[in-house]
Amino acid sequence: MLVLGGDITGKMMVPLVRSSDGTYSSHFNGSDIKISTAQSKDEFIKNVKFNGFYPVEMSEEEYLKALNDKRYRDSVFENVMLDSVKSWVKLAEDRLQASKIQVYISSGNDDLLSMDGVLREAETEHVHFVEKQIAFIEDKYELLSWGDANKTPWNTPREFTEEELYEGLKNISGRLQSPSTSIFNVHVPPIGIGLDVCADLDETLKPIIHGGEIQMKSAGSTSVKTIMEEVQPMLGLHGHIHESPAIAKLGRTVCINPGSEYSQGVLRGALVTIEKEKLKHYILTKG
């Protein structure tokens, strides 16, 4: 099976502005770009997508409106994001229809709430949206998925207090039939075990620097740590803190955060083997 554990959508759209003479202009990775051929346009679009962003073709009038009208800009972004999600599901089903592989997708705190409905409607034989659900894997293992996070400086769509997080996780984990062999696909990692180390920010969202060094902190969740200590699942699959890939133990639970380098075109993951209701192998991957 394949688990996609949240923050699966891009963070930015890249306008590709169509001029009256048929050429295109854009700004990407710090450079102004002029495009005059269909081939170079296709290459640019491919490069933007490879970096995890959304290329959006616009007229000059649409571009100016997007610059000055936040509601319009947000609407364009949401529409292109949702269209992309639908195309991913179709691609996955096309590639997997002859296999036995199942894909389980959950949300992350950065993902817009509107994504959930689209993924539910787009579910296929091989692709399943399991946010805030317990899915049975091979009728043997229970996959508990939860994409909400504790409070962040970024005011993302799915943030809650630690008390609210604990209450939600307590309720859903109480439905587990076999907690000791369950898998917690919980987007935010437990605090303080090495999966949540990131830069500490000041009130302007800039890294705090002392003595020439960026100050680091643990940004995981106290409620996730508490509930996992109480339930002691077999495995914890986490994300959220992209710059903190690690594997750590919390009691008997193996917790994994593969990290993320999507903006560099690098796919990070973890390969886990489970046999006879026990973890046999686990390793971080990138490529």
pLDDT grade for 51, boundaries at 50, 70 and 90: confident
Half-sphere exposure of 133 toward its Cβ, with a 13 Å CA cutoff? 14
Round the average pLDDT of the chain to a whole number and report it. Answer: 96
Rounded Cα gap, residues 67 and 238, in angstroms: 35
Say what the pLDDT of residue 138 is.
87
**Is 0.85 surpassed by the pTM of this model?**
yes
Rounded to a whole number of angstroms, the CA Rg of the chain reads 21
pLDDT at 208: 97
Fold classification of 13-74 (topology level)? Nucleotidyltransferase; domain 5 (3.30.420)
Average pLDDT score over residue span 57-71: 97
Position 267 confidence tier, pLDDT thresholds 50, 70, 90: confident
Residue 23, pLDDT score: 96
Summarised one tens digit per residue, pLDDT across range 169-227 is: 999 999 999 999 999 999 999 999 999 999 999 999 999 999 999 999 999 999 999 99
Domain boundaries, the chain: 13-74, 132-286
Please give the CATH topology (third level) of the domain spanning 132-286.
Purple Acid Phosphatase; chain A, domain 2 (3.60.21)
Distance of CA 241 to the CA centre of its chain: 10
Please tell me the predicted confidence (pLDDT) of residue 99: 95
Task: Encode pLDDT of 101-152 as tens digits.
Answer: 999 999 999 999 999 999 999 999 999 999 999 999 988 999 999 999 999 9
Q: Name the burial class of residue 185, with classes exposed (0-12), middle (13-18) and buried (19+) by CB atoms within 10 angstroms of its CB.
A: buried
Other Cβ atoms less than 10 A from the Cβ of 18: the count is 18
Provide the pLDDT for residue 113. 97
Of 160, 161, 182, 163, the closest CA to residue 173 belongs to: 182
- Which single residue is written with the structure tokens 């083997």? 273
Three-class HEC string of 170-192: HHHHCCCCCHHHCEEEECCCECC
Position 26 pLDDT exceeds 90: yes
